[in-house]
Amino acid sequence: MVATTLLAFYGMGTAALATSVVKLRKRLELSQAKHKSLAGHSRLSRRIAALVPYYDYGEDRFFSSDGAPPEVADRRRQALARLSTLYKARFAETTARTAEARAGISDLQFTDAYRVPFQYRRLVQDALPAAGFAQSSDGVTVTDLDGNRCYDLSGSYGVNLLGYDFYKGAIERGAARVRELGPALGPYHPLIVENATLLKRISGLDEVSFHMSGTEAVMQAVRLARYHTGRSHLVRFCGAYHGWWGDVQPGIGNPVPAHETYTLTDMAEATLRVLRTRRNVACVLVNPLQALHPNASAPSDSSLVDSSRCAHFDKDAYAEWLKRLRQVCTEKNIVLIFDEVFVGFRLAKGGAQDYFGVRADLVTYGKTLGGGLPIGVICGRRDLMKRFRDERPADICFARGTFNAHPYVMAAMNEFLRHLQTPQADALYRDLDRIWNDRAQRLNRSLAAAALPVEVANLSSIFTVCYTRPSRYNWMLQYYLRAEGLALSWIGTGRLIFSLNYSDEDFVAVAERFVAAAKAMQQDGWWWPGPALTDKAIRRTIMKEMIVHRLHFLGRRRSHQPS
Ligand SMILES: Cc1ncc(COP(=O)(O)O)c(C=O)c1O
């Protein structure tokens, strides 16, 4: 009896130990699959973000934060004053209107605050005020309220694929076709049928659902994956943007933790190991834009504190990675979702699936697909798109939206999709990569010939600017570019998005202005090559500053507490 009991205890102990070992191993595998950067550790990054104190550089430190000698700091001071005079004259009306509107439009306050590293913000906002208004667009240009016509490198967040004139036409022609139904919602306008047919053909998938934004499409895609697999977790890759919904934004920016999200390393064996061994993974979200900078967040100038931003696109390596991911997802019944909200229709007519030669189970599209109007779409396998169960009528996967399939949006989309079927569109996609790779290389050759510490990397018509020499002032380039008539989005040189109606002549003009801007910045001393300046040293200095300011803040708080 005693022996039997002992044996039972021994057995239970061994089983518990085995379970713990398995759990521990899985935990370890998960840790190994996290990217070593802060972006790979959502919880930690949020905690650390909460500790970062605000402080700014006064006049002196602003111009010599990299240890530049007084004559260089002076050159910079004079350059900023000159640039400021130019901005205040040239963009007078646009900046005045922006300043007026600022207090009542929270988004304007946000984008305005995040254009440069915060230490420099106050002086930059004073000297180079934001100009958040435009009055017209035409060809590859946008014109501000002062009549300044600039080459548009913002691409309207990626929406502008075919040129603004195309979307103006699509919206007008589309509106005319649905005018009789007007904004009546609920029943569909018949042209939705052609949209669904074309989208199924383009995506190679069985069904389509319409939403109002890319964020909503991603939310529903993940919800469907969870519903059909009965599993809880989504996997996203470090740095990848999938909209602003909490589960896909587990780090900085989201006030609460996302408990059912794993953020894993892109293009890593350790990630595949986790996918093979975890049984709670419902889906893997892939934003193919990350191919340009795997594991790095959207490159914004507000975080451009040094020159460590790097990017390089290797199509074969990324395609190979997607194939391996596809294989593991198939083996483990994990839903593979391509989030093509950004790159859809930009890389190839059939999107990233065609471009990389890998099929997904669900694909989300948005941006340009709306023909210039707001949109989010999911295309997917029939079994995954179903929102109810025949055998369990109360078990549904709810997703509705007042404005889903709005007749005006469907009509503009129809214009876009029909255009894609034309020989003109075929011609546009022919040689697309070669054209944009050549253009990027030409620009790089000009930059190198002028010995400028700048180069671009590109994924087809999406460019990012990298800096080849350690510097604390790279973010200044966005202001020099604007002075040369190049309009960027609020993330600055992090992303330049070209519409495909850029001719060679247009691009040559942009390249000349780009080089001129960089030359002016070089002459003004912002890229002073300090002998001891390294990216590591810059980061170390910033870290020290933050610690000092944090301690100072804590000290002040303590001295204000009642004793
Ligand atoms: C890949 C990707 N997914 C989703 C979204 C969110 O789309 P929206 O801004 O329409 O909500 C974006 C937006 O930039 C995106 O780039």
pLDDT in tens, 144-173: 999 999 999 999 999 999 999 999 999 999
Task: Report the separation in Å between the CA atom of 370 and the middle of ligand 1, taken as the mean of its atom positions.
Answer: 13
Main-chain phi, psi angles of 30, to 5 degrees:
-65, -45
Tell me what pLDDT residue 24 has: 87
Task: Report the separation in Å between the CA atom of 217 and the middle of ligand 1, taken as the mean of its atom positions.
Answer: 9
Ligand 1 contacts (CB < 6 A) are 157, 213-215, 218, 241-243, 287, 339, 341-342, 366, 376
- Of ligand 1's atoms, which has the minimum distance to the CA of residue 214? 7
What's the mean pLDDT when you consider all of the chain? Answer: 95
pTM, to two decimals: 0.94
Q: Are 133 and 94 in contact (CB under 8 A)?
A: yes
Tell me what pLDDT residue 7 has: 60
Main-chain phi, psi angles of 503, to 5 degrees:
-85, 170
**Cα–Cα dist 64/78, whole Å:** 13
- Of ligand 1's atoms, which has the minimum distance to the CA of residue 289? 1
**Cα–Cα dist 192/298, whole Å:** 34
pLDDT of 537 strictly over 90: yes
Helix-then-strand count for the chain, H and E: 20, 16
pLDDT in tens, 294-308: 999 989 999 999 999
Tell me what pLDDT residue 557 has: 80
Task: Report the separation in Å between the CA atom of 20 and the middle of ligand 1, taken as the mean of its atom positions.
Answer: 40
- Of ligand 1's atoms, which has the minimum distance to the CA of residue 375? 10
pLDDT in tens, 334-363: 999 999 999 999 999 999 999 999 999 999
* Tokens (6 digits) for 346: 């930009």
Q: What is the 8-class DSSP label of residue 380?
A: E
Query: Could you tell me the sign of the dihedral formed by the alpha carbons of 449, 450, 452, 458, in that order?
Result: negative
Span 24-46, average pLDDT:
89
Residue whose CA is at the smallest distance from ligand 1 atom 5: 243
- Of ligand 1's atoms, which has the minimum distance to the CA of residue 243? 6
pLDDT in tens, 3-19: 566 566 566 667 667 77
Residue whose CA is at the smallest distance from ligand 1 atom 3: 242
pLDDT in tens, 419-431: 999 999 999 999 9
pLDDT in tens, 444-462: 999 999 999 999 999 999 9
pLDDT in tens, 512-523: 999 999 999 999
**Cα–Cα dist 461/516, whole Å:** 21
**Cα–Cα dist 251/229, whole Å:** 25
- Of ligand 1's atoms, which has the minimum distance to the CA of residue 343? 1
